[in-house]
Amino acid sequence: MARVFSGMQPTGDATLGNLLGALRPWVDTQNADAYYCVVDLHALTVPHDPAGLRRQTLELATLFLSVGLDPDIGTLFVQSHVHEHTELAWLMECTAAFGELRRMTQFKDKSERSDFVSAGLLTYPALMAADILLYDTEEVPVGDDQRQHVELTRDVAERFNSRYGQTFTVPKAVIGRVGARVMDLQDPSRKMSKSDDTSAGTLLLLEDLGSIAKKIKRAVTDTNYDPKQPGAANLLSILSACTGDDPDTLAANYTQYGPLKADVTEAVTAVVEPVQRRYAELSADPATVAKILERGAEKAQTVAAATLDRARRNVGLLVRDEG
Ligand code: AQP
C-alpha cells in the first residue's frame, strides 16, 4: 500500500478535467495511507477574493466527499490548517534554483496571462514540494499538467537529501492513461481549467446537466468525422475516461459527430449526476464537513510535524530549548 498525497486548489468551480484527471483516480487509489488536501495557500498565488476563497475551500472539500473520498479510509484536510506546509516551503525555496522555478510551464503560462505576477506564483512548486514531502509520499496521483511539478519535487528532495543527509522519501507522479488531460471544448489546444473564463469550453462538475449537454453539442469539431482531429480526439478521450472503454475501439464506432456527441453527453451525465446528488445532500450540512476537516488536519499534522522536525535539524537550524 503506497503512501499517497495529492491536492487541488480552490481557485474556481471544479471541472470535468479535475474529476477525470485527479478526483476519480484518487477515489480509486484511496487507502489508509492516503492524504488529500484542499491547497488553499496555492490559491493565493493568483488574484482572489477573500470571501470567495473561504467559500470555495469549503465547497471543494464538500466535493471531495461527494466524489467518494472517504474520511474513514484516508485523510482529508485543508492545507492552511497544517502550518508545517508553509514552514517546509521556505526550506524548499532555499533548495530549489531560481532558474528551475522560472522554467516551469505553468508559471510561464499564468504569468503571461496576468497583469500582476506574484512572487508566490514563481515559488508555487516549492510549496507543492513541501506539501508532498511532508507526508513521506511515495505516489502523487495527478493529471498530466502537474507532471513537471512532481519532477521538480523529486529533484529538490534528492538535492536536500544529498546535501543534508537522508530526510525525504523521493515520490513519483502517477498519471492515468485516460482522462489525464481533458482539453477545452472550444479550444482543444488548451487544457480545460477551472480558473479560465472560456466558460463555453469548460464543463463544471456542479453545472446544470442541460447546460453540459449544450456545451458538448457545440464542442468544436471539423465538418467530416476524423478521430485524430484535436476536438474529436478530446471527445473520444472524455468518453473513454467516463466509460472505461478503449479510445481506439471507440473511435472506430463512429462516422459522424452527432452520435459521438450524444454518447459523450450520456456518459458525462452518468458520471456527474451522482456527484451532484451527493453534493446537494452534503452541502446542506457544512458543520459535518468542518468536523471531518478538523479531524483530518489533526491526523495530517502528526505526520507533517515529524517530517518538518527532521528537515529543520538536518538543514542546521538550532533546536529551540523550551525547557
Ligand atoms: N484538464 C485537465 N485534465 C486532466 N486533469 C486535470 N487537472 C486539472 N485540469 C485537468 C488535474 O486536477 C488536479 C487539480 O489541480 P490544481 O487545482 O492544483 O490546479 P491545476 O492543475 O492548475 O488545475 P486547473 O483546473 O487548471 O486549475 P487552475 O485553473 O486554478 O490552474 C491536478 O491533479 C491536475 O493535474
Question: Is the pLDDT reported for residue 186 higher than 90?
Answer: yes
Please say if the pLDDT value at position 25 is more than 80: yes
Over 80: is that where the pLDDT of 118 sits? yes
Whether residue 260 is predicted with pLDDT greater than 90 in this model: the reply is yes
Q: Is 191 a catalytic residue?
A: yes
Ligand 1, atom nearest to 144 Cα: 35
pTM given for the model = 0.93
Annotated catalytic residue, options 108, 191, 215, 291: 191
Residue 79 reports pLDDT greater than 90: yes
| Residue 206 pLDDT exceeds 90 | yes
pLDDT at 54 > cutoff 70: yes
Q: Evaluate whether 117 touches 96 at the Cβ level (below 8 Å).
A: no
3-state SS assignment for residue 8: strand
The CA dihedral of 182, 183, 184, 188, to the nearest 10 degrees, is: -160
How far away, in angstroms, is 19 Cα from ligand 1 center? 9
Q: Whose CA is nearest to atom 14 of ligand 1?
A: 8
Q: Name the band, by pLDDT with cuts 50, 70 and 90, for residue 259.
A: very high
Give the C-alpha separation, 155 to 133, whole Å.
12
How much of the chain, in percent, has pLDDT values that exceed 70?
Answer: 99
